[in-house]
C-alpha cells in the first residue's frame, strides 16, 4: 500500500543549531509534498508546498531562508530548520499527494525539541 515515512521521529537540537528532517513516499509518486508544523496548543500550519517541476511556495511567516526544502524526485523530500529556537518546537508533518483529487497521505511526523 501507499505510505509516507518521516525520520527522525524525534529530535532535540540546541538553540541556534539546525536540524534536517526527511520524508519518503512509498508505493506512490509524490508529485506534491506539503510540510506542516503543529506548535504546542495549535493546529497544523502549512509551511510550504513543493510540486515537482514548480517552484516551492512558502506560506506567510515561513521563508526559504529559514526552512529550505528539497524535493529532488517523486519519492523523497527533505526540510531543514535553520537556526532553530524555542518557537520552532513542535511536530513537523509531511503530507504527500500523487495528484489532483487525491487526499494527502501523512507521515507520523518529526517532533522537534529545542534546548
Partner 1 sequence: GDSVTQTEGPVTVSESESLIINCTYSATSIAYPNLFWYVRYPGEGLQLLLKVITAGQKGSSRGFEATYNKETTSFHLQKASVQESDSAVYYCALGDNYAQGLTFGLGTRVSVFP
CB of 10 to partner 1, least distance (A): 13
Tell which positions 80-99 bind partner 1, by CB under 8 A.
93, 95, 97, 99
Helix (H, G, I), strand (E, B) or coil at 24: strand
62 phi and psi, to 5 degrees?
-130, 140
Left (φ > 0), alpha (ψ -120 to 50) or beta: where does 27 sit? left
Tell which positions 53-72 bind partner 1, by CB under 8 A.
59
In angstroms, how far is CA 28 from the centroid of its own chain? 18
By CB under 8 A, residue 108 contacts partner 1: yes
Q: Which of 31, 71, 81, 88 binds partner 1 (CB under 8 A)?
A: 31
Count CB neighbours of 108 within 10 A: 13
By CB under 8 A, residue 109 contacts partner 1: yes
* C-alpha cell recorded at residue 62: 515561513
By CB under 8 A, residue 14 contacts partner 1: no
The residue among 63 and 102 lying less far from partner 1, judged by its C-beta, is 102
By CB under 8 A, residue 40 contacts partner 1: no
CA proximity to 35, closest of 83, 101, 107, 86: 107
By CB under 8 A, residue 79 contacts partner 1: no
Amino acid at each position: 500500500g501507499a505510505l509516507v515515512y518521516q525520520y527522525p521521529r524525534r529530535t532535540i537540537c540546541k538553540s541556534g543549531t539546525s536540524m534536517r528532517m526527511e520524508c519518503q513516499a512509498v508505493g506512490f509518486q509524490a508529485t506534491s509534498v506539503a510540510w506542516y508544523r503543529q506548535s504546542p496548543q495549535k493546529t497544523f500550519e502549512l509551511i510550504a508546498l513543493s510540486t515537482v517541476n514548480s517552484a516551492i511556495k512558502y506560506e506567510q511567516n515561513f521563508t526559504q531562508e529559514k526552512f529550505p526544502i528539497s524535493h529532488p524526485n517523486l519519492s523523497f523530500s527533505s526540510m531543514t530548520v535553520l537556526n532553530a529556537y524555542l518557537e520552532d518546537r513542535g511536530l513537523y508533518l509531511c503530507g504527500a499527494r500523487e495528484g489532483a483529487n487525491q487526499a494527502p497521505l501523512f507521515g507520523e511526523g518529526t517532533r522537534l525539541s529545542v534546548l
